[in-house]
Structure 1
Amino acid sequence: MPYTHQSMDALREVGDELADATVAALFERGEVGTFNTLMRWFSRTGQDLPDGLPEVAREYLDATGAPPAWVDWDEMEKARLFFIDNNVHISTALSFAAMPACYVVPHVAKLLSATHSLDYPSRRMAETGQFTVYLMRPDAFEAGGRFIPAAQKVRLLHASIRHHLRRADRWDVAGLGVPICQEDMIGGQLMFSLQVLDALHRLGIHMSEDGARSYYYAWRVVGAMLGVDPAHAPADLESARQFSDLYMTRHMGPSEEGVRLTRQLIDLYEEVVPGTVFDPVVAALIRYLIGDTAADWLDVPRSAWDTLVKAAPALLGVLESLEDRSPLAAWALDRLGALTTNLELSSLTRGRVMQYAIPEHLKSEYGVTSTAPRTDRWTPPPLTAQLPARES
C-alpha cells in the first residue's frame, strides 16, 4: 500500500487495544505486582500458567499464546538459517546501526529513556539481544521455547508505558499521537529488519535475495505478535523502504536524549573492547553505518578510525569468499560467530534471563539460508522519491 503523511498520521492515533485493555485492568485492580511476581516463573511455551494469576492476564496470555495463523514456516526456517549464517554481523548491525537509528528519532529516544534507568544501558542491549536470540532458536515457537512468552511480556511492557504516559499527562498526545503508536511500532520493526539488512549490505556481507526477504518476513511476524496491525505493516522489502524513508523523514533529528543514549552505547561497548587503543573503533563503526548527518546529531565523536573502518567491507569480503569456497571454513566461521554472539550476550545479561516486567511507575527523570546460492545477491530497495511536504 502507498504510505502518505495522512495515512501515517492516522497510525499515530492507534495503540494496541488488547494489551492496553489488559494493562489498564491490572492497574485498576492493583494486580500489577502480583502479575510480575508470578510471571517470573512463566518463561517457556507450554508451561502451566501459575496459580493466582489475575484472570485478565490469563485471558491475554491465552489470546496471544500462538503465532499468527498466516505464518509461513518455510520462510521462518530460512530466516533462522540466515541468522545462523550471519549472526555476528547481525549483532553488529543491531548494536551499531539499528539502536542508533532509534536514538535519532527524538520522541523514540525519550521513550527509551523513560523505559529503563539511564544508568543501566546494558539492560537495554541485553533485552534486545536476548529477544533476537530467542526468536532465531529452532524451538522458538514450540513447547519449551522462550520466544512467545518474551513477546507477550514485551507487548505488555509497551502497553504499560502508554498507560503511564497518558495517565500522568506526560505526553503530548495532540502533537505526538499515542505513545508507542502503530507508526512507531512499525518503525521499530523496520529498525530491526530493514535497517539491519542495510547495515549488512554496507559492511559488504554476502546476502541472497531469498535470505534477506525471509529475514524481513520473520520480523513482520514478530511485529504482529507485538501488536502491530498486519493490515498496515509493509508486506515486503519494497514497501518497507517506502515506509522507512517517510517515517525517518517525518521524525528524525537531534535530541538531548539521543545524544545521551548514544554516549552510553559507545561507553558500553568500549568496555567490551580489550584495552583502550581500539576504543574509537566503536564510534567509527556507528558513524560509518548510520552516516555523518545522523552521527553528528548524536554527537558521535570523530577520529582517524573513521577512515580506517571503511576497510571493513574489504576484510569481511575476504572472509565471506573463504566461506563460500570451503564448507569447513563456513562451518568454522558460523561456530565462531555463534560463540562471539553468545559471549557478547552473556556479558550484557550477566547470565540472567531478562524478565520484561511491567513497570509500576516510570523514571522521575523523564519530563538467508546457508544452502542458497550466493550469486543471487541482495541489494537494498532504492530510496523512494521525495514525497510532498505535509500540508499545514
Structure 2
Amino acid sequence: MTYTKASMDALRQCGDELADATVATLFERGEVGTFNTLMRYVSTAGAPLPDGLPEVAREYLHETSAPPSWVDWGEMEKARLFFIDNNVHISTALSFASMPACYVIPHVARLLSATHSLQYPSKRMAETGQFTVYLMQPGAFEAGSRFIPAAQKVRLLHASIRHHLGREDRWDVGRLGTPICQEDMIGGQLLFSLLVLDSLHRLNIHMSIDGAEAYFYAWRVVGAMLGVDQDHVPKDLEQARQFFDLYMTRHMGPSEEGVNLTRQLIDLYEEVVPGTFFDPVVGALIRYLVGDTCADWLQVPRSPWDTLAAAVPTMLGVLESIEDSSPFGAWALDRLGHFTTLFELSTLTRGRVMHYAIPETLKKDFGVTSAVPRTHRWTPPAPTVAF
C-alpha cells in the first residue's frame, strides 16, 4: 500500500460511522447521563448489561463485544510475552516519547487540551497505561477481562468529541478535517506501536524481530476495536514507517497547547520521583527520545542531564546482557519491571480504576519472562522522508 498526500487528505474526512451514530442518538434522546451512570458498573467482558441501559447503547455494545475475526492468537500471545519482557521500557517509551510526540502535532494537542482537565494532568497517562496493561493481560479478550469494555468506552469517547466539536462549530473542518479522523486514529495507533519500538531501539533494548512484529500486530487489533478502518491501516512495519513519516511531516510543529501539555507531563513525573535532584532526568529523557527540534518546540528545558541521557542506552544494554545470559537475572529484572510498572500506574491513578465516560461538555477554554527468542535482533525500518 502506498500513502500519498491525496490519500491522507481523504482519511481526514472520515470518522467512525458506528460510534458516531450511537453517540448522536444518545445526545438526541438525552440519554448520555443515564449511559455514563450505568456503564460505571460494566467493567468486565461478559458481564450482564444493566437494566435501563439505552437500547442504542445496548446494540453498540453487542456489536463491538468481540475482537475482529481475523485475529491471530499466536501473535497475540507473542505480543503479551514481549510486553512482560519489556514492560518498564514500554512504559518509559509511552511516557517520554509517544505522549510528547502527540503534543508536537498542534491539532492533536488542542484536542487533548479540550478533553483532559488541567487540574488532573495524570488522567491521560493513567488511562493510556491502564489500557495497555488491560490489553496485555492473559485472557484480555475473554469473559471477565477489562480490556474490551475499556475499548468500547474509548471508542465512544472519541465519537463524543467529534459530536461536540461538530455541533458547537468549534473546529475548522475545512482546514483540519474531521476531529479524531481516520488519519489521526491511524497516526495514534503508530505513536503507541511503531514509535514505542523505535524508542526501545534507541534505548538499546534487545528485541527480536518476532517480538517487535507481534507488538505492532497487537496494536493493529486495538486499532480495529477502536474503529480504525482496516482498509487503510498499515499491515506491517514497512508500511507503518511510510505512513508515520508522512503523517508527522504533514502535521508536526510548535503550539501553545503542546507546550502546556508537556509542562504538565514533566511536572507529573517530577512529583512521582522523590526529591528534586533527579527532576531534570525527565526532560532529558524526552529530549533524547524525541530529538532536539521537537523538544525545543515543546519547550523541554535543557540541563546537564541531557548529556548523561545519552549514556542510558549503554546502561540498559548491560542490563539486557545480564538478562540474556542469566535465567535468574532475567527473572529478577522481569519482576522489577513488573513492580515498577504497577507502582507507576498506581501513582498515576491514585489507586483508582479509571473510568472512560462520554463527556457531556468539553472544556470551556477550548479555542478551536519471555518465550520469544532474542535472535535476529529487530532494527527499525529506514525513514521514507527527510525530516
Measure, in 2, the Cα distance between the counterparts of 1:281 and 1:120.
22
Q: Which moved more, 1:117-126 or 1:63-72?
A: 117-126
- Equivalent residue runs for 1:275-314 within 5 Å: 275-314=275-314
Give how far 1:372 is off. Answer: 2.9
Query: What's the counterpart of residue 174 of structure 2?
Result: 174
Query: What's the counterpart of residue 382 of structure 1?
Result: 382
User: Residues 19-58 of structure 1: CA distance to partner in whole angstroms, max 9, x if unpaired?
Assistant: 0000000000000000000000000001000000000000
Give how far 1:386 is off. Answer: 5.1
Give how far 1:274 is off. Answer: 1.4
Return the letter of the residue paired with 2:157. L
Give the unaligned 5+ runs of structure 2: none
Query: What's the counterpart of residue 44 of structure 1?
Result: 44
TM-score (norm 1): 0.97
Measure, in 2, the Cα distance between the counterparts of 1:310 and 1:386.
23
Query: What's the counterpart of residue 221 of structure 1?
Result: 221
Measure, in 1, the Cα distance between the counterparts of 2:325 and 2:284.
31
Query: What's the counterpart of residue 207 of structure 1?
Result: 207
Return the letter of the residue paired with 1:284. A
- Equivalent residue runs for 1:134-283 within 5 Å: 134-283=134-283
Query: What's the counterpart of residue 359 of structure 1?
Result: 359
Measure, in 1, the Cα distance between the counterparts of 2:29 and 2:127.
28
Query: What's the counterpart of residue 17 of structure 2?
Result: 17
Give how far 1:375 is off. Answer: 2.9
Measure, in 2, the Cα distance between the counterparts of 1:353 and 1:25.
28
User: Residues 71-124 of structure 1: CA distance to partner in whole angstroms, max 9, x if unpaired?
Assistant: 000000000000000000000000000000000000000000111112211111
Query: What's the counterpart of residue 329 of structure 1?
Result: 329
Measure, in 2, the Cα distance between the counterparts of 1:316 and 1:80.
21
Query: What's the counterpart of residue 54 of structure 2?
Result: 54
- On the 8 A contact 2:246/2:385 being kept in 1, the answer is no
SS at structure 1 position matched to 2:122? helix
SS at structure 1 position matched to 2:185? helix
SS at structure 2 position matched to 1:145? coil
Measure, in 2, the Cα distance between the counterparts of 1:284 and 1:10.
38
Measure, in 2, the Cα distance between the counterparts of 1:192 and 1:371.
23
Query: What's the counterpart of residue 390 of structure 1?
Result: none
Measure, in 2, the Cα distance between the counterparts of 1:15 and 1:191.
19
Give the ranges of 4+ consecutive aligned residues of structure 1 lying more than 4 Å apart after TM superposition: none
- Equivalent residue runs for 1:95-114 within 5 Å: 95-114=95-114
Give how far 1:385 is off. Answer: 3.8
Measure, in 2, the Cα distance between the counterparts of 1:97 and 1:385.
20
Measure, in 2, the Cα distance between the counterparts of 1:349 and 1:303.
29
Measure, in 1, the Cα distance between the counterparts of 2:124 and 2:134.
16
Measure, in 2, the Cα distance between the counterparts of 1:216 and 1:161.
27
SS at structure 2 position matched to 1:121? coil
SS at structure 2 position matched to 1:295? helix
Measure, in 2, the Cα distance between the counterparts of 1:75 and 1:371.
12
Aligned length: 386
User: C-alpha root-mean-square deviation of aligned residues, in Å?
Assistant: 0.9
User: Residues 284-333 of structure 1: CA distance to partner in whole angstroms, max 9, x if unpaired?
Assistant: 00000000000000000000000011100110011000000111110111
Give how far 1:273 is off. Answer: 1.2
Measure, in 1, the Cα distance between the counterparts of 2:385 and 2:353.
44
Give how far 1:365 is off. Answer: 1.0
The answer to whether residue 85 in structure 2 is matched with residue 122 in structure 1 is no
Give how far 1:370 is off. Answer: 1.7
SS at structure 2 position matched to 1:144? coil
TM-score (norm 2): 0.99
Return the letter of the residue paired with 1:261. L
Measure, in 2, the Cα distance between the counterparts of 1:376 and 1:141.
30
Give the unaligned 5+ runs of structure 1: 388-392
Query: What's the counterpart of residue 89 of structure 1?
Result: 89
SS at structure 1 position matched to 2:358? coil
- On the 8 A contact 2:106/2:257 being kept in 1, the answer is yes
- On the 8 A contact 2:104/2:252 being kept in 1, the answer is yes
Q: Percent identity?
A: 80
- On the 8 A contact 2:131/2:150 being kept in 1, the answer is yes
Give how far 1:371 is off. Answer: 2.6
